[in-house]
Structure 1
């Protein structure tokens, strides 16, 4: 039987491959495009998707992620798709390193996502890692819709997409 940490490592490796395939499709010249005024811009969504592995690092190596203790979030603006992919690779490397340092017995420790006195999430560390994987799937699918609306072919993460058939 494998440990939870080993399972998370495998899941991260699998999801990274599929997320990278999607991020490779993001056209830099369309970063300011958005399908609706209430939607994120394409570049903001791509940046957010690329940084989601940071949540795994934060969940495993600390007891909270307090936005009030950091500078206000600003999406990184990439001049090239290679910069976006390098940013993603760096985020994945930090998540992978955190997994290497972690043990299953720490996964039931409490963790909180907050901004000062405002709590967004409070859960056990294992749940925060699972939440990061859920966020990855959600925002990757959202990116797929954005790309489809721009008539850009998309890869199928768990089997061929309509573009690959």
Structure 2
């Protein structure tokens, strides 16, 4: 039953992520709110990239980022980021649908070579905390970037402030 809920949340939030990424205008991809921040294009690309991590998280007990070949595309091309997002969502969906409730309890570790980055911890916690919540966190940042540049923000969980004021 828990897997059905996780898959349902995944599908709902993929649609919300898609709505948000499609609002990113090409003209503002270079915007960054501070010197230490990512550009809007880099942030959008990072969100699209997180979906790729589902495969290593859900199909391997130890995910070594140093041995993985991650395709990112160009952060200054929103169409490339959207294509990356769609491709990674399909990979994530396949990995998520192959998961069993028992595998949610297995310990999982993320490494970069010999350095442990995350874990070991139960895969179910990683799925919610590292994958789902990670995306939500960065979507919130992207909403701030969009607002700061005067762009529209889509309603993800109901109407936006601007949409609610039209009545």
Taking structure 2 as the reference length, the TM-score comes to 0.89
* Equivalent residue, structure 1, for 2:82: 85
* Equivalent residue, structure 2, for 1:53: 51
Partner of 1:155: helix, strand, or coil? Answer: coil
Q: Distance in 1 between matches of 2:91 and 2:71?
A: 20
Q: Does 1:104 align with 2:101?
A: yes
Residues 27-42 of structure 1 mapped to structure 2, 5 A cutoff: 27-42=25-40
The structural deviation recorded for 1:82 is 3.4
Residues 7-18 of structure 1 mapped to structure 2, 5 A cutoff: 7-18=5-16
- Equivalent pairs, count: 162
* Equivalent residue, structure 2, for 1:94: 91
What do residues 58-106 of structure 1 show as CA deviations (whole Å, max 9, x unaligned)?
21111122122235x6842156533322211111111110122111111
Taking structure 1 as the reference length, the TM-score comes to 0.90
4+ residue segments displaced more than 6 Å: none
Residues 138-157 of structure 1 mapped to structure 2, 5 A cutoff: 138-157=137-156
Q: Which residues of structure 2 form unaligned runs of 5+?
A: none
